[in-house]
Amino acid sequence: MKTLIRNVRPYGEDATDLVVEDGLLVRDGTDPDETVDADGLVALPGLVDLHTHLREPGGEEAETVATGSAAAALGGYTAVFAMPNTNPTQDSPVVVEHVWRRGREVGLVDVHPVGAVTVGLGGEKLAEMGMMAASPAAVRMFSDDGRCVNDPLIMRRALEYARSLDALVAQHAEDHRLTVGAQAHEGPVAARLGLTGWPATAEESIVARDAMLAAAAGARLHVCHLSTAGSVGVLRWARETLDARPGFALSAEVTPHHLLLTDTAAEGYDPVHKVNPPLRPEADTLALRRALADGEIDCVATDHAPHAVEAKDCEWSVARPGMLGLQTALPVVALTMVRTGLLDWRGVARVTSEAPARIAGLPDQGRPLAVGEPANLTLVDPEATWTVRGAELASIAENTPYEGTDLPLSVVHTMLRGRWTVRDGKVAPREQ
């Protein structure tokens, strides 16, 4: 099977042809089996999401591996990391292997289960990290996401232990003692609305603590959904000043919604805007954009968090935090980073594909668009505009904060190892 993609602009640069054969990019475009006219489309390496909630097992009323994979492919992703707060928790080899196998069966995107750091996300007893690493799922990222590994001793042990597995600990940075009952960013908006505040310091203090623990352990620490300007400053300080053992690596992700939305979204109390960490003031969103452009924040991760309607159609304080993200991530990045001139398309490829693949240690993702490389591609129309409708997204849940909003950029085609997973904006069924 040879595919010729004509007149495509790799990284938004000069138009050229890309040729795919047997899952790889090749040079010789003669005599193709299929030809795709990609006039005006920009080619990027397939996107990699370090932070997705696929909800299976246990939350199938909101999302499944199948629907989440479809949403990922439609969003331009070729690999996603599925967070472990499932039911049962992804804290054992059996559960992570199940999720991994479901991902393979669906086949629209590489699904990499993230293992829990502690049993049941309880924060007290380390999960069987080594056995999850040794399972067919080959888990290399561990996180209690949704909960912080709050106990410094447990976090220290987790970092030390993960080091021996060449694995990464991804921390949901939130000092739970500082966020008891917290509902929204602690500031004037929450004060006025009578919502208990989620202070920036609850995140920043954990980022600082964990950076010190990881440096001392020579471990790899990844900060999930970093959300404040102060946390960016802590990262800078840690990278510049910490005296680290060999092996120390510090990385951080930011979500699309923290690049775009602000805490004022809570006005009106519609919990579709409730997320953890909460939406922050505009000054933070602007600082996060700059940090992403400068490389201080390594990558974008969606924190795609589907919730059934009853988890959102209720009082703000009762609602579950989280919002859909897979199909709106790249458009929001285009809106906040490209249209503002902060990133070019090479930069977009860096923060949505290359950096997350590097952080997670995926050898065949986030590779250059070059001959001999794996054909993981997304082709996007940067000039398109579309109106977000939760009901039209591939996820079972509809909790998008962008309902009715016009976003730029549409994902037209996605290719996973030489096979189209999305053609013309629709999921391409796998050939039998």
Q: How far is the CB of 267 from other proteins (least distance, A)?
A: 9
Q: What is the dihedral of CA 310, 316, 319, 324, to 10 degrees?
A: 90
Position 195 contacts other proteins (CB under 8 A): yes
Q: How far is the CB of 55 from other proteins (least distance, A)?
A: 21
Distance of CA 39 to the CA centre of its chain: 29
Which of these segments, 17-25, 214-222, 249-257, 266-274, binds other proteins (CB under 8 A)? 266-274
> Among residues 110 and 186, whose Cβ is nearest to other proteins?
186
Q: How far is the CB of 227 from other proteins (least distance, A)?
A: 16
Distance CA 366, CA 29 (A): 23
Distance CA 94, CA 90 (A): 8
Marked catalytic residue, from 49, 303, 313, 424: 303
At a CB cut-off of 8 Å and minimum separation 6, what does 203 contact?
173, 174, 175, 226, 227, 228, 230, 231, 277
Q: How far is the CB of 36 from other proteins (least distance, A)?
A: 44
Residue 188: how many CA atoms within 13 Å on its side-chain side? 4
Position 264 contacts other proteins (CB under 8 A): no
Residue showing tokens 């232990």: 161
> Among residues 311 and 394, whose Cβ is nearest to other proteins?
311
Binding other proteins by CB under 8 A: which of 104, 192, 339, 389?
A: 192
One-letter amino acid for residue 209 of the chain: R
Binding other proteins by CB under 8 A: which of 186, 253, 296, 398?
A: 186
Q: In the structure encoding, which two tokens stand for residue 378, read together?
A: 């997304």
Longest pairwise C-alpha distance within the chain: 67
Binders of other proteins among 8-37, rule CB under 8 A? none
Known binder of ligand: residue 85? yes
Respond yes or no on whether the N-terminal peptide bond of residue 88 is cis (omega within 30° of 0).
yes
Known binder of ligand: residue 176? no
Q: Is 248 exposed, middle or buried (0-12, 13-18, 19+ CB in 10 A)?
A: buried
Known binder of ligand: residue 54? yes
Binding other proteins by CB under 8 A: which of 74, 155, 189, 211?
A: 189
Q: How far is the CB of 385 from other proteins (least distance, A)?
A: 27
Q: How far is the CB of 314 from other proteins (least distance, A)?
A: 6
Known binder of ligand: residue 53? yes
Which of these segments, 112-120, 190-198, 234-242, 388-396, binds other proteins (CB under 8 A)? 190-198
Angle formed by the axes of helices 200-217 and 152-164, nearest 10°: 40
> Among residues 268 and 295, whose Cβ is nearest to other proteins?
268
At a CB cut-off of 8 Å and minimum separation 6, what does 313 contact?
none
Distance CA 72, CA 334 (A): 17
Known binder of ligand: residue 425? no
Binding other proteins by CB under 8 A: which of 88, 188, 295, 429?
A: 188
Q: How many other CB atoms are found less than 10 A from the CB of residue 296?
A: 18
> Among residues 1 and 314, whose Cβ is nearest to other proteins?
314
Q: How many other CB atoms are found less than 10 A from the CB of residue 335?
A: 19
Distance CA 59, CA 308 (A): 9
CB 314 within 8 A of CB 271: yes
Binding other proteins by CB under 8 A: which of 315, 391, 404, 432?
A: 315
Position 190 contacts other proteins (CB under 8 A): yes
Binders of other proteins among 269-288, rule CB under 8 A? 269-270
Active site residue 110: no
Annotated binding site: 51, 53-55, 85, 145, 172, 225, 276, 303, 307, 321-322
Q: Which residues are catalytic?
A: 303
Interface positions with other proteins (CB under 8 A) = 183, 186-197, 199, 268-270, 310, 313-318
